[in-house]
Amino acid sequence: MANPSLLILAGDGIGPEVMAEVKKIIGWMGDRRGIRFDVSEDLVGGCAYDAHGTPLTDATMAKAQEVDAVLLGAVGGPKYDKLDFSVKPERGLLRLRKEMDLFSNLRPAQCFDALADFSSLKRDVVAGLDIVIVRELTSGVYFGEPRGIFKEGNERVGINTQRYTESEIARVARSAFELARKRRNKVCSMEKANVMESGILWREVVQEVHDRDYPDVELSHMYADNGAMQLVRWPKQFDVIVTDNLFGDLLSDCAAMLTGSLGMLPSASLGAPMANGRPKALYEPVHGSAPDIAGQGKANPIACILSFAMALRYSFDLGEEATRVEKAVEKVLADGVRTADLMGPEGGTPVSTAQMGDAIVAALDASL
């Protein structure tokens, strides 16, 4: 049987640095667990523009369609700010999401006990937090037409269109309900049905999918602005939150900071099942390219490593190995090992990006 295939797109800024630590984990899996991957690498974002004049070549897009999973680092940086919108680094990432039809974006927000004091909220509010936001990723206001900046009379007007079909809502709702069945069996759907027709449709379709196919899952509905407030007030009331593209973007960043550092948070973008039954998938850390610290060994690689753990679980059916990686991260943090973003008043052992990766590999060795 062929080894599972993985395309690595390290991208820009700190992307290559954090991805180097993931490669250590991939190597460890082969050497110590006999789990080997066929790994290929290519360019995306600003580095692809520098090399090819486009943030994502057709050839790279074709590779992404063929492999079992894509692992991406980060894209962008201020050197590309003046590029035309059509070739900005972020367009490469959006093209991957759109053409792979990665409609379901899973963004976990988990607070490790060792980092509970890093949140701006009180320890009892965030300690033990473990929620997942399921964000619809390929439709809504980021993709709707008409869009653009137009001239009306003597002034310009910017237009973006919020648009959802029943089928687009239903499939991301099913993704959330399926995930909830593997967790605590509870879904909260968030929209703005009080002021937006798309929100009314969203609420109706989510309820219909629930009543028809998932009556065993507890479902609640909440306006998205109240959802943001509740995430800050008492986030542990939630298990799985499902919401649209725009609100999911905002709410997941809010949830990210409950955990203390963006450098800790992975994500998975999943699509329809392929011939092998596994979903098309792209995994990436939530953080950006952080060009201000690129090349300095200061970046936290944990979010990228945990993104690979999500790939082990969702794309390669290796849940036990995913848990092994997650436990290794937890052990290292409990031991006080800290990259710069995790150094607090209580101190800890300061380490570089590479040293954090080495510490996690050592913890994996100790798990055997």
What does the pLDDT average to over 43-48? 98
> How many angstroms separate the Cα of 186 from the Cα of each of 24, 126, 138, 238?
36, 19, 24, 8
DSSP, collapsed to helix, strand or coil, labels residue 228 as helix
Count how many Cα atoms sit within 13 Å of the Cα of residue 266 in the half-sphere of its side chain.
28
Model pTM score: 0.90
Weakest-pLDDT range from 3-12, 50-59, 211-220, 253-262: 253-262
Would you please indicate which residues are annotated as catalytic (active-site) residues?
Answer: 142, 192, 225, 249, 253
Tokens at residue 263, please? 């450098």
Write down the CATH number for the domain with range 130-258.
3.40.718.10
d(CA 282, CA 208): 29
pLDDT for 222: 98
- Say yes or no to pLDDT of 241 above 80: yes
- Output DSSP code: residue 342: G
Per-residue confidence band for 263, with pLDDT thresholds at 50, 70 and 90: confident
| pLDDT surpasses 90 at 348 | no
Strand 5-11, strand 69-74: pairing: parallel
What's the pLDDT score for residue 258? Answer: 87
Question: 276, 311, 361, 299: which is closest to 106 by C-alpha?
Answer: 311
Q: Is the pLDDT of residue 275 over 80?
A: no
CA nearest to 254, candidates 109, 357, 362, 368: 109
Q: How far apart are CA 223 and CA 42, in angstroms?
A: 41
- The third-level CATH classification (topology) of the domain covering 1-104+262-368 is Isopropylmalate Dehydrogenase (3.40.718)
Q: What's the rounded Cα separation, in Å, for the pair 41 and 306?
A: 19
The domains of the chain are located at: 1-104+262-368, 130-258
Q: What is the DSSP letter of 13?
A: T
pLDDT at 2 over 90: no
Residue 262: pLDDT over 80: no
For helices 58-66 and 89-99, what crossing angle results, to 10°? Answer: 40
User: Are the folds of 1-104+262-368 and 130-258 the same?
Assistant: yes
